Each structure stands twice: as C-alpha cells, then as structure tokens.
Amino acid sequence: MENINKIAGPFVEAWACETFVNIVENPENEWTLINVEALERLNRADVLLQFKRNQKLNPVVTAEVDVKATSEDFVSSGKSPNITSFARIRSAYIENPDYLFVILSLKHKVYSQRNFETGRMDGIMEVVKYNAYDIKYLSDSDITYNPALGTGQIQIRDIHYVTTIKRTAWEFCQMLDRKYLATSRRSYENWLALATKYGWIK
C-alpha cells in the first residue's frame, strides 16, 4: 500500500489535466475554458488554463495550476509541500501583477481488491476531496519559506487547512520578502543580489 501511494501523485496529476481537457472539448462548458496545456516538468506549474471573457479588453484570462496530490491514508500527507522557488514566483508577479497561480489540492485514497481473472491485487486510486487556492491570497501564517534549495522554496504549512486574505500583488511580494529576510541564512545583500539579477528594481 505504501508503494502504491508513492506513485499515486503523478497519476492524480495526469487525471486532473485530462479532466480539464474533457471540459475544453465540451463546447457548452459553463466555465468558458478554451485551452489547456500540460506544462513541462521543471515549469512553475503543471497545467496552463485559459478562459474566455465577454470583454473587449483582455478577453482571455490565463491561469497556471500547480496540482498537489496528497494521501488520505497518511496523516502527515500535505504537510509543508514545496510549491515553487522564491525567485520564480516573485518574478512572475513583477512581470505581470495580474498573474494567476492556482494551487489545486487533490486528496486521494488508495485501496486494493483482488482481480479474480488475473489472481492479482488491483490498486485503485480515488480522488475524495479537493480545494483550490490563489497563492496570492493565502494568509501569512500559511506560507513558509525554506532556504534549503536554490533561492529557497515557498511552502504551505498544511495544504488541507488554509485561510485566505485579500491582498494586491505588491502586498504579496512584500510578504514574500519578509519571509525571505526572516531566516538567518538570508541577508538584505542576498535579496539585493536577486533583485538586481531578476530585474525587480526598476
């Protein structure tokens, strides 16, 4: 059972993308979803979605979706998952203040049953719960910063239990900076080097 859960994540992520594709192929889909693209492994997110709006100005809204699969069978599943790097997410909001980065949390349950034709056990994965969050609106206490990798990883304390707060892109960037500078392994000089490298200072 433990081995099945280790491979469940990629299957659930692929299922999510396939579900979005099925919606696009329905011309009467109520969400006016017009395009779905599975993004490459090292991208910021897993899936790109585009929606059509009935407006002449900015008629298409684009959102990047990071699919996080967690197990209902293990209590610790969903605790502090890596979302994206500090530099990548901050740069995205500098490039486009209207950037949409959605975290889609899918909770799955795995069980097995005997296949009497083959004589083997079939592992079955079922998505039992879901939540979706715009990362920009996650509360300060829900977002943590781990300096261990590269420019540091943005993490969510517990993906199953979050609160949201309305804020602007600029307020979100300021919050990320506070998290970055709060760790003893980062200094203002480190931040300034990143800001210069990625063009955050205009």
Q: Where are the domains of the chain?
A: 2-198
φ, ψ dihedrals at 191, nearest 5°: -65, -45
pLDDT profile of the chain (202 residues), mean per 10: 71 92 90 91 89 86 92 71 91 94 91 86 85 94 90 90 93 96 90 95 83
Q: Which long-range contacts (CB under 8 A, 24 or more apart) does 38-43 make?
A: 39/64
- pLDDT at position 150, please? 86
**Phi, psi (rounded to 5 degrees) for 28:** -105, 25
d(CA 25, CA 40): 22
> Rounded to whole angstroms, how far apart are CA atoms 176 and 58?
28
Burial 104-117 (b: 16+ CB within 10 A, else e): bbbbbebeeeeeee
pLDDT at 60: 92
pLDDT of residue 95: 94
Q: What is the pLDDT of residue 4?
A: 67
Q: Which of 82, 104, 108 is nearest to 7 (CA)?
A: 108
User: Does domain 2-198 match CATH 3.40.50?
Assistant: no
pLDDT of residue 42: 77
Record the pTM.
0.86
